[in-house]
Structure 1
Amino acid sequence: IEAATRPDDLTLIADPAGPARILNTIYRGGSYLYEVQLPSGNVVRCEGPHTVRHAAGEAVRIELTPGHGLAHFVRPL
């Protein structure tokens, strides 16, 4: 299954043992946009509230934001 997510579909949680790393933090007034590198090397974007700031290099884990519906696509085998 492949899932398409928007930056606000994902929640960052500070975790020293987290598998992902913050690459870049962009302040956007009412929120922060983060570029996060996954263990695979892929980079995803996550959006978080302006009240919580994660620094570049910080270890995090990523969770789906509760209540956000996701589109999914199943490829034939």
Structure 2
Amino acid sequence: MTNFIVAAVYSYPHEITILKHLLTEAGISFYFENETITGLAPFYSHALGGIKLKVHPNDLETVKEILSNFEDQSNLKIV
């Protein structure tokens, strides 16, 4: 996972819940950096640089498409 790159950054844990499902369903290897600490202390999110969605570089285009489709088809906007 050392080769993974940042695909997106979020401020709050609730913003990534649906994305976890969508990425898992698509078979994408991913992880959210700082997810645990922001779940315990949400105000640390900004100090840590947010919750970073990290993916393998080979999956980046697919992930961008998933994120774009999610934002276009949903009333939930991810900041």
Same fold (TM over 0.5): no
TM-score relative to the length of structure 1: 0.29
Q: Select the structure of larger CA radius of gyration.
A: 1
Higher strand share: 1
| TM-score, structure 2 as length reference | 0.29
